[in-house]
Structure 1
Amino acid sequence: MDQILSVLPVFLALVSTGIIAGLLAGLLGVGGGIVIVPVLYYIFQYFGVSATSAMVIATTTSLATIVPTSISSIKAHHANGNVDWLLLRWLSAFIVIGVVAGSLLVSKVGGAWLSGLFGIVATISALNMLLRSNAAPVANALPGKFGQGIMGSCIGFLSVMVGIGGGTLTVPTLTAFNYPAHRAVGTAAAVGLLIALPGVATMLLAGNVPIDAPIGNYGLVNWLGFVCIVPLTVYFSPIGARIGKQLDSAKLKKVFALVLAFTGIRMLLQAF
């Protein structure tokens, strides 16, 4: 009974994370990782995990949750013709190279450094939501093959290090080059799988379980968190989408951007 009572608060916190991530993904069209990483980061610390261990576990667990959700998303976007498989064929090798390099680095560097990097990515993402929602593209077409390769490697490298899928970096990058928004979102779903799958595999092989890891950890993934978050995220995302249709999505996005900016700045201050 005592063991059950000790797990119950962690279980309830993880269930809440899945519900919040699903609702926000549906409401605002944001990827789950940008929500899951900071929530898990603070939850694990609340239950006695060090900030260093909490960040690495939160990052890897977030990537694990992206694998099944991205597969579901790819199917839906492919059915609507919004996945650019030709572009992905060229980018995939560069994305995976960036992912493997970033994953190996995550398994070796400290959590404080990762917290700072997430803070930077979160703050830039928030500013992008606030300031560039109606901005003109920076170019009329994607760069050449070499430029696309660099772009793919950077997206894979940065995304895997902070535990996010393809949407947060891929969508604004593609749309900045005058790429159609719906096609960018669909293609980003496939990029998410290219980031998450090799990322989790590399971290499980290269990473060591922290001595203060929370209940349910194997390697750098908290599988209790995975089991709690994935079904709820999938279930509540359509509910969030239905709620979003009845609300002012532009205002909601601004509110989320402000919260994301606050979270990013707070993680930066905690890291440095």
Structure 2
Amino acid sequence: MPFDITLFLELALLGLCSGFLAGLLGIGGGMVMVPFITLLLSSREVNPELAVKMAIATSMATIVFTSVSSVRAHHQRGAVRWDIVKSFAPGIVAGAAIASFGVFAILKGSSLALLFALFVGFSATQMFLDKKPAASRQLPGPIGLIGAGGVIGFLSGLVGAGGGFISVPLMTWCNVAIHNAVATSAALGFPIALANALGYAFSGAQLSNLPPYSLGYIWLPGLIVIAGCSVTTAPMGASAAHRLPVKRLKRIFASVLYLLAAYMLYRGLFSH
């Protein structure tokens, strides 16, 4: 698979857009990157099953870099709830390790695409309905947050997203303000991405049909170009997130997720 100027420009545009959305929506950009990297790899004769897996792994690896840029911008505004981040982190790392070191390699790419569509669609619905939580509802205690972190880390590892599709609705459901939830989700993206990226590199290391310049399931050209571009626009998205009204922010989040869920549903059902 040659790396030409067209491919470079496509990856650069994807990086710029996903970085902005990562800062705006706290989703790490993975919800945007996975469908488009799948499309790019499939169009260049990578096996469709492998293309989905490499898209998920490459997307997650870029979040390691994007999350740092995004969370710095949110932290400067005092929006990150670091107490929540610390409580989630142990479970996140454990769940991510189970997913990326073992389960990810066993599942078919089409199954992962369907799983991606299912959870993204669920997340979009939760945001779009904008249900108001009970005024007395609060986040669970330390044990509950570790368990929730485990679920977030595990599911993120299977779909290549930074966890915002679960953590943002969970936090808003428990009366964490939407802007704090988005900022905190961006911070959670780093441990999720780092733990999963290590797992993808290890679990795919023995495959023989990978494209050139791959580190396990991670496609390095995509990682380098997308990450290099996304870190420049993530702070812009974070800045925009603090200027938008709450309801509009939720509707933007939901609309983007519905479109991407539909594409990955198609990939899972009809691409073999």
Name the TM-score class by shorter chain: 0.7 to 0.9
2:122 aligned partner, one-letter code:
I
Whether 1:180 aligns to 2:161 is no
- Pair 1:171–1:258, CA change in 2 (3 A): closer
In the alignment, which residue of structure 1 is the partner of 2:133? 137
Whether 1:222 aligns to 2:207 is no
Which aligned pairs between 1:1-272 and structure 2 lie closer than 5 A?
Answer: 7-25=4-22, 30-103=27-100, 104-132=102-130, 135-137=131-133, 140-208=137-205, 210-238=207-235, 254=251, 257-258=254-255, 260-272=257-269
Distance 2:184 2:245 in 1: 26
2:132 aligned partner, one-letter code:
A
- Pair 1:90–1:24, CA change in 2 (3 A): closer
- Pair 1:220–1:227, CA change in 2 (3 A): same
Q: Give per-residue Cα distances to partners, 1:158-205, cap 9 Å, x unaligned.
A: 112111113222111111111233332232222111101111112212
Contact between 2:22 and 2:66, CA under 8 Å: does it hold in 1? no
Give how far 1:269 is off.
Answer: 3.7
Moved more, 110-119 or 253-262: 253-262
Q: Give per-residue Cα distances to partners, 1:57-79, cap 9 Å, x unaligned.
A: 11111111111221223333333
Contact between 2:70 and 2:235, CA under 8 Å: does it hold in 1? no
Q: Which runs of no fewer than 5 residues in structure 2 stay unpaired? A: none
TM-score when normalising by structure 1 = 0.84
- Pair 1:240–1:142, CA change in 2 (3 A): closer
Contact between 1:53 and 1:210, CA under 8 Å: does it hold in 2? no
Q: Give per-residue Cα distances to partners, 1:52-99, cap 9 Å, x unaligned.
A: 111111111111111122122333333333333333333221111111
Moved more, 122-131 or 194-203: 122-131
1:185 aligned partner, one-letter code:
V
Moved more, 19-28 or 226-235: 19-28
Identity rate of aligned residues, in percent? 36
Q: Give per-residue Cα distances to partners, 1:10-49, cap 9 Å, x unaligned.
A: 2232122112213444565543111011110111111111
- Pair 1:122–1:180, CA change in 2 (3 A): same
2:123 aligned partner, one-letter code:
S
Distance 2:177 2:242 in 1: 22
User: Number of matched residues?
Assistant: 267
Distance 1:84 1:248 in 2: 20
Runs of 4+ in 1 over 4 A off after TM superposition: 26-30, 209-212, 238-256
TM-score when normalising by structure 2 = 0.84
